[in-house]
Amino acid sequence: MENNEKKASASSKLANCLVLSYPAQGHINPLLLFSKRLERKGIKVTIVTTYFISKSLHRDPSSSISIALETISDGYDKGGSAQAESDQAYVDRFWQIGLQTLTELVERMNDVDCIVFDSFLPWALDVAKKFGLTGAAFLTQSCAVAAIYHHVNKGLIKLPLIGDEVLLPGLPPLDPQDTPSFINDSASYPAFFDMIVTRQVSNIDKADWILCNTFYELEKEVIK
Between CA 44 and CA 67 the distance in angstroms is 7
For the chain, what is the mean pLDDT? 90
Between CA 183 and CA 38 the distance in angstroms is 33
pLDDT digits (tens, 9 = 90+) for 123-176: 999 999 999 999 999 999 999 999 999 999 999 998 988 888 999 999 999 999
Name the catalytic one among 74, 118, 150, 151. 118
With 90 as the cut, is the pLDDT of residue 49 above it?
yes
Confidence label for 6 from pLDDT (cuts 50, 70 and 90): very low
Confidence label for 59 from pLDDT (cuts 50, 70 and 90): low
| Sign of the CA dihedral with 133 first, then 125, 143, and 73 last | positive
Name the catalytic one among 27, 74, 150, 151. 27
With 90 as the cut, is the pLDDT of residue 34 above it?
yes
pLDDT the model gives residue 63 = 64
Architecture label for domain 16-142+203-218: 3-Layer(aba) Sandwich (3.40)
Q: Is 178 a catalytic residue?
A: no
Question: Percent of the chain at pLDDT above 70?
Answer: 91
Q: Residues 84-95: what's their mean pLDDT?
A: 96
Q: Residues 187-196: what's their mean pLDDT?
A: 88
pLDDT the model gives residue 162 = 83
Confidence label for 8 from pLDDT (cuts 50, 70 and 90): very low
Confidence label for 9 from pLDDT (cuts 50, 70 and 90): very low
Neighbouring C-alpha atoms within 13 Å toward the C-beta of 100: 9
pLDDT digits (tens, 9 = 90+) for 103-115: 999 999 999 999 9
Confidence label for 18 from pLDDT (cuts 50, 70 and 90): very high
Q: Is 58 a catalytic residue?
A: no
Q: Which long-range contacts (CB under 8 A, 24 or more apart) does 162-167 make?
A: none
Q: Residues 51-57: what's their mean pLDDT?
A: 90
In the chain, domain spans: 16-142+203-218
With 80 as the cut, is the pLDDT of residue 45 above it?
yes
Question: Buried (b) or exposed (e) across 45-67, using 16+ Cβ within 10 A?
Answer: bbbbbbbbbbeeeeeeeeeeeeb
Which strands sit side by side in the sheet containing 209-212, from one edge to the other? 68-72, 44-50, 16-20, 114-118, 134-139, 209-212
Between CA 26 and CA 174 the distance in angstroms is 23
Between CA 202 and CA 97 the distance in angstroms is 19
Q: What is the pTM of this model?
A: 0.89
